Structure 1
Amino acid sequence: MESTQKFIINIENQEWLYDNEEEDLCSHGEIHVSVDGTIITQSGIKEEWGISESALALLRTIDNDYVCHPNDKEGLILHGCGAILMMGCPISIHWTVEHSEDQVLLSDFVKITTTDPETGSVYYPGLHAALNKNEYKKQIVQFALQVKNFFDASKEKRVTDDYDRETYQEFWNEFNRLLENNLLDPIGEL
């Protein structure tokens, strides 16, 4: 149970930004992220995140390293103003994910709270966590399943623009492939 407390990530609430959910291609809401008791984001502090975009970014880290470099890379928790393309807005939360045998090491946490990273960055020096790979995977898969269930329960999307339709399909192709690969993996026992 101890490793669960080292890193906690879950969706606090998830909603559509637009009144017409058929046109909204990304879910948004509040996320709870804490590391070794330090809360990075939580509900009630007026921080809204792009939930579906963040889920895909996190799914990518189950088997792959991610190096925290806010000036050059999209974050792992995204603001959501970049729509399904996952780009364009610096507001985000970053951390390094390093795989080492059966462990996942998390470090270099940075939260960028404004569109100006020079003045809006919150650094968490020395904050890190080492988790069993299966525990990390379990939390990320549960996060992604909440997103998938939310979309599955919503109305069918009406995407009239060809580029948006193609991008939306690419997003879900990758999302579903990564999720299914990790649901079927017997190592994670999910």
Structure 2
Amino acid sequence: MEHSNRLIIKIENQKWLYNDEEDLCSHGEIYLNVNETIITQSGIYEEWGISESALALLRTLDKDYICDPNHEEGLILHGCGLILMMGCPISIHWSVKHMDDEVILSDFVKVTTTSPESGSVHFNGLEIRLNKNDYKNQVVSFALEAKKLFEQSNEKQIIDDFDKEMYEGFWNEYNQLLRKNQH
């Protein structure tokens, strides 16, 4: 299968909401283009939870994901749920189906409000098949870029034990999935 730009997912900008010592998640704008359909991009006043989204995407590298905005968190997350990756329906979803050496992406839905029933944009018929390595390279590149901000920041000052445990668990899983999927 010829490599193409049928899936482009990249970080447009990334920042802390407050400061690098307190914020446990990074936020910013993402460019998501699927088969020349732009689902999100900078300049349209959509801010996403970058680090949370990177972990959600890493999880799809060897597991299927079924698009279900009413019951699942999504793959591009708004970030209002903090590191727990729960609690905010604003998100972008799509199904990820692994078939031999291909990945099929379909059922794209963008939930733009806290009400998935009324605030959803469905991209009917939008489906692409990618070589697994092309998909993996896009996701790993996104996750590595997301991680840079954390590597360049001051040490986190986490007072709450529960938050500290969640933060450490988040990065343990993130780093494990990155190591497993890097060439």
SS in 1 for 2:92: strand
1:5 deviates by 1.5
Report percent identity of matched pairs. Answer: 67
**CA displacement, residues 109-131 of structure 1 (integer Å, 9 cap, x when unaligned):** 00000011122100000001100
Q: CA RMSD in A?
A: 1.0
- Structure 2: segments with no counterpart, 5+ residues: none
1:74 deviates by 0.8
**Residue aligning to 1:101:** 100
Change (3 A) 1:94 1:133: same
Matched, 1:89 2:66: no
- Aligned equivalents of 1:115, 1:56: Cα separation in 2: 22
- Aligned equivalents of 2:80, 2:123: Cα separation in 1: 24
**Residue aligning to 1:8:** 8
Matched, 1:163 2:147: no
**Residue aligning to 2:74:** 75
- Aligned equivalents of 1:2, 1:15: Cα separation in 2: 35
**CA displacement, residues 92-148 of structure 1 (integer Å, 9 cap, x when unaligned):** 000000000000000000000001112210000000110000000000000000111
Count of matched residue pairs: 183
- Aligned equivalents of 2:167, 2:74: Cα separation in 1: 19
1:87 deviates by 0.2
SS in 2 for 1:22: coil
- Aligned equivalents of 1:22, 1:2: Cα separation in 2: 44
What is the TM-score when the length of structure 1 is the normalising length? 0.94
**Residue aligning to 2:49:** 50
Runs of 4+ aligned residues of structure 1 deviating over 2 Å after TM superposition are 1-4
